[in-house]
Amino acid sequence: MLNADNIIPTTCPYCGVGCQIDLHVKNGLIYRVNGRFDNAVNHGNLCVKGRFGFDYVHAQDRLTTPLLRHARGQSLESTSWDTALGYVTNRLQTIRAEHGPDSIAFLTSAKCTNEENYLLQKLARAVVGTNNVDHCARL
Amino acid sequence: MAGLAATLGSGAMTDSISNIKDADLLFVTGSNTTEAHPIIGLEMKKAVRRFGAKLILLDPREIELADFAYLHLRQRPGTDVAVLNAISHVIIRDSLANVNFIEERTEGFEAFATSVREWTPERAEILSGVPAQDIVDAAYLYAHARQAMIFWAMGITQHTTGTDNVKVCSNLALLTGHIGRPATGLNPLRGQNNVQGACDMGGLPNVFPGYQPVTDEAIRRKFAAGWGVELEHLAPKPGLTVTEITRGVLEGQIKAIYVMGENPMLSDPNLNHVAEAFESVELLVCQDIFLNETAQLADVVFPAASFAEKSGTFTNTERRVQMIRPALAAPGQAWADWRIILALAKRMGAGWTYTSPADIFDELAALTPQYAGMNHARLADGGIQWPCPTVDHPGTPVLHVGKFTRGRGQFVPIDFRPPAELPDEDYPFLLSTGRILFHWHGGTMSRRSPGLDAIAPEAEAEIHPTDAHTLGVQNGELVRVFSRRGSVVATARVTRRSSPGMIFMTFHYAEAAVNLLTNDAVDPTAKIPEYKVCAVDIEKFTPPVNKEILNEPESIFTHA
Ligand code: SF4
């Protein structure tokens, strides 16, 4: 029997039901997930995704550094946060100056948090100055 | 959810998951609930088996819920409006309507009643194939129920007539007063985990957070003050939708696209067109946990943290705002999405000072009326359903009690419009798309879980036995499905779940991106692309090489 280093209560990231789950963590790995009983959503139940669908968190191909392509046709290469952020800032500012704020568009995410969605639309509206904000779940 | 916003004043699920067990009638249309929302499906089954509720299913396919249905209306895809109008017709014709409710709480009844006068069950039967007597039975069951809940999912909104379908359901609830009490109402089931939150937070071109229109000067003034920018800086004109954005690239006015945590290359209909847009846009920036198909085209990709590596909130389909909490450190140099945006905004000259998601939440709560009384500390214990206007408000499990958000509920006459593309001689089959239980939108997450992939490893096209026989296709053989826009190869599943003349495919697989086939005609109001229905032809496919090569993600573009 494994004993968890940590049991973290959180929300299943798969569908709009939003089941409450416990992530059991040992040596930095999620090794078990159970449904929580203390809520009005799932009463301890989980479907197959919520119970077994978390290996992706530990997948070998997770991105671990910023990637930058210097020109179309070249490949994406690892770079530092400083370089990547500087590059994007520069390009967005140039495009905005040349073509106006409405030449830039932002897609927010049905998988990210409310806080992150709020910030991205604020970046679009308050910093860039465009209402070109939509999310893909309309699809 | 433009349909409900227009009729009731709010676009979200009006009731709660925990009330499903108390309903004595469930009306489910366009939602394969046990696969797309399994735990809600479980509550429905419990309501039927344990508490004796009756289930009416309006769905062309023999889905799992059909085993639990008291009445299964199998309409031809795209004819939902005809059937639902006929149910309203019977309710009015046979005096089953809730006259007091209509008088006290609604408007527009006369015009609506006139509009359905022609919609006899017999006429609906000719169009939809649903027997007239079943339509009459459904009307009596729904109208006579004490507490009846209507459910639908993207199945009903992914049509060019999507908003119409929603309004027709809304008419039914207004007609019978099955709304504004526990275990009643209109309940759209949102697909991905935080679609509700993404919409609530203003991830839409026409509204700020809380559905506050960008066209309203008082609202712009409020956000300008809250964000510390000049009023003139906030654009008064609605922006472009995602479909308009991809068109905008091809037409030259969109130069840069910034994508957070999504893979539009896979989830966009009519994929060839979308690929062209993402390939040709001047600057493409993505932040994601994987190098997905869209990120592979990007100029810059920021590595993001997964849900298990950050804190924040998701809003579920019943409007409940719930916490996520960090269990692990993010791998390598990956950052939470909020931290990436914050760093970028600072570089671009914004004076943002947040130090945590809790800070960001406090600001959004101050500007979003539905979230005004919430903060991370209050959400720690089971979450809160919006609207929650003050810090001592317990949240709202049932919307529209006593009064609709917009005042009176609005009846809307809806005329039947057939889908934009129907089968013809060249493309004689109707393709319908959807999702299956084990994978989730695009599969970026679940396909990396070996256990899940073993259960459902291949793209499948469901074909009725009669059609399979005509085409000479056996169960498990490869078929090529093609439309006016592209073609994909999939394994044939010969099953009576589909009706004759209908092909059903899922879009969980990059290898057979079914969206290559679909149609980007959009619903004029909700601007949801018509995913669900398009005309295709199908033929037996003999692989030129071996299957491994066929299944390589790139190969689909060369085959198309
Ligand atoms: S456990 Fe299943 S039903 Fe619950 S939120 Fe996760 S995916 Fe949805």
Strand partners, B492: B461
Task: Report, as an integer, the average pLDDT of A45-60.
Answer: 88
Residue B415 tokens, joined = 């005329």
Go through B18-53 and write b for each residue having 16 or more CB atoms within 10 A of its CB, e for each that does not: bbbebbbbbbbbbbbbbbbbbbbbbbbbebbeeeeb
Taking the C-alpha atoms of residue B99 and residue B85, their distance in angstroms, rounded to an integer, is 18
pLDDT band with cut points at 50, 70 and 90 for residue B442: very low
- Pairwise pLDDT comparison (B76 vs B334), residue with the higher score: B334
pLDDT tens-digit series, residues A14-25: 889 999 999 999
Domain containing A32 — which CATH number? Answer: 2.20.25.90
Same domain (yes/no): A67, A52: no
List, for residues B333-390, the tens digit of each pLDDT value.
999 999 999 999 999 999 999 999 999 999 999 999 999 999 999 999 889 999 999 9
The ligand 1 atom nearest the CA atom of A35: 1
CB of B263 within 8 A of CB of B254?
A: no
In a domain, A1, yes or no: no
Q: Is the pLDDT of residue B511 over 70?
A: no
Does residue A94 belong to any structural domain of this protein?
A: yes
What pLDDT was estimated at residue A70?
Answer: 86
User: Is residue A21 lining ligand 1, measured as CB closer than 6 Å?
Assistant: no
CA atoms in the 13 A half-sphere facing the CB of B13 = 33
Q: Identify the pLDDT of residue B496.
A: 80
Residue B290, pLDDT > 90, answer yes
Q: For the ranges A55-64, B284-293, B365-374, B518-527, which has the lowest average pLDDT? A: B518-527
**Is residue A114 included in any domain, yes or no?**
yes
Q: Provide the pLDDT confidence category of residue A8 given band limits of 50, 70 and 90.
A: very high
Q: Is residue A52 part of a domain?
A: yes
Instruction: Give the number of other CB atoms < 10 A from CB of residue B227.
Output: 18
What is the tens place of the pLDDT at every residue in B124-147?
888 888 999 999 999 999 999 999
Ligand 1 in reach of A14 Cβ (< 6 A) = yes
Strands A104-108 and B256-260: parallel
Residue A134 lies in a domain: yes
Contact B342/B354 with Cβ under 8 angstroms?
yes
Query: How close is the nearest chain A Cα to the Cα of B429, in Å?
Result: 23
Provide the pLDDT for residue B286: 97
CA of B40 to the centre of ligand 1 (A): 9
Query: Is pLDDT of B5 > 80?
Result: no
Do residues A87 and A112 both lie within one domain? no
Asked if residue A2 has pLDDT above 80, the reply is no
Specify the range with the lowest mean pLDDT, choosing from A29-38, B387-396, B483-492. Answer: B483-492
- Interface probe with A: pick from B42, B221, B348, most Cβ of A within 10 Å: B348
If asked whether residues A127 and A85 sit together in one domain, one would say: no
A33 touches chain B (CB under 8 A): no
Query: Residues A108, A95: one domain?
Result: no
Q: Are residues A45 and A79 located together in one domain of the fold?
A: no
Give yes or no: residues A114 and A95 share one domain. no
Same domain assignment for residues A46 and A30: yes
Q: What single-letter amino acid sits at B498? A: S
CA of A53 to the centre of ligand 1 (A): 10
What are the beta bridge partners of residue B522? B529
Q: What percentage of chain B exceeds 90 in pLDDT?
A: 53
Total of domains in chain A: 3
Which of A62, A65, A72, A95 to probe by mutation at the B interface, max B CB count within 10 Å? A62
At residue B516, the pLDDT reads: 64
Question: What does the pLDDT read at residue B242?
Answer: 86
Which stretches of B149-241 are DSSP H helices? 154-157, 162-176, 195-200, 217-227
Residue A44: give the domain boundaries.
6-58
Q: Do B253 and A67 touch (CB under 8 A)?
A: no
Same structural domain, A75 and A42: no
Q: What is the pTM of this model?
A: 0.82
Under an 8 A CB cutoff, do A15 and B37 touch?
Answer: yes
Can you give the pLDDT at residue B122?
92
Per residue in B409-439, pLDDT (tens digit) is 889 888 776 666 677 778 888 777 654 444 3
Bridge-based pairing state of the strands B300-303 and B148-152: unpaired
* Structure confidence at residue A138 (pLDDT): 53
User: Where are the extended beta strands (E) located within B305-355?
Assistant: 312-315, 320-324
pLDDT band at B543 (very low <50, low <70, confident <90, very high): low
Q: What is the band of B405 on the pLDDT scale with cuts at 50, 70, 90?
A: confident
pLDDT for B158 equals 46
Domains and CATH numbers, chain B: 2-189 (3.40.228.10), 195-385 (3.40.50.740), 429-557 (2.40.40.20)
Could you read off the pLDDT of B155-211 as tens digits, one per residue?
A: 444 444 456 778 889 999 999 999 999 999 999 888 788 989 999 999 999 999 999
Q: Say if residue A88's pLDDT is above 80.
A: yes
Least confident of B31-45, B98-112, B403-417: B403-417
Q: What angle do CA A109, B31, B401 make, to 5 degrees?
A: 80
Nearest to B30 by CA among B67, B79, B70, B68: B79
Least confident of A8-12, A94-98, B404-408: B404-408
Q: Measured from the CA of A46, which atom of ligand 1 is nearest?
A: 1
Least reliable range by pLDDT among A77-81, B359-363, B365-369, B481-485: B481-485
